[in-house]
Amino acid sequence: MSRPTVFISGAAAGIGHATARAFADLGYHVGAFDIDEPGLGLLREEIEAAGGSITVGALNVTDPAQWDAAMEKFHADEQRLDILINNAGVLSSGPFEEMATAAHRRLVDINVNGVIYGSKAAFPYLRDTAGAQLVNLCSASAIYGQPELATYSATKFAVRALTEALDLEWRPHDIRVLAVWPLFVNTAMVDGMDIGTTRSLGIHLTAKDVADGIVHATRTRSRLLHKVHYPIGRQAKIMANLAKFSPDWAVRMSNKRMSHT
């Protein structure tokens, strides 16, 4: 049998880079796609130097045609797609009314449409691979709408809903759909970001922490409890559990205090 494969969008840096390294170390043939081609070149050198297997390629996740081409190229290598990780994303913060319309549009185009296009392009390849999985990068900001991250938070609520719907819709095709939920991660995405929530909670997670969480989620399957959402890190787990068992007014008050609004 051919080795397992994983396709990762936004793989040139940060969480995507760390996740590619983690799966390569486990013997997966990695598909690393991004708009940052020099970054992909460095990733390929690292993985190949460690004895791993990788295919790299340019991908703008807001273009459905590029998704189709990237999937076709990657699938040609091993004739299977075990895992798609919709990792590519952007983050913009600040008062909602002060952010440029272009910034709001970019958040939606990449964080929502990119996930939709990727999931659709991958479907036939996932369907034809036994036990395939789709992993979406969600966020703890999808627990309750976050001040100064309003549109970003909205995009992650959309990813949450899409994940839950597709997990039900694609179950007859033997495709598992799940979401990982980190809080703030120490990557370039948060460089220079100073909002109430980061001042309250800090930034403690690393890209490797999230990569390890993704690996754990994809390799953990319970026959008794079907799990869709995987918070990553102590803070995200506490927030998710509090939101699950607390009334809405208490969750709102907690977010109000954390964000200093």
Rounded to whole angstroms, the Cα distance separating 45 from 201 reads 36
Residue 152 designated active-site: yes
The Cα-based distances of 141 to 13, 146, 179, 232 in angstroms read 22, 6, 13, 13
**What is the rounded distance in angstroms from the CA atom of residue 39 to the CA atom of residue 41?**
5
**Distance from C-alpha of 102 to C-alpha of 260, rounded to nearest angstrom:** 27
Dihedral over Cα of 227, 229, 233, 236: its sign: negative
- Strands of the sheet with 176-182, listed across from one edge: 53-58, 29-34, 5-9, 83-86, 133-137, 176-182, 229-232
Query: Which residue type occupies 159?
Result: V
In the chain, what is the straight-line distance between the N-terminal and C-terminal CA atoms, in Å?
56
Catalytic residue among 117, 125, 152, 230: 152
| Separation of CA 152 from chain center | 13
Active site residues: 152
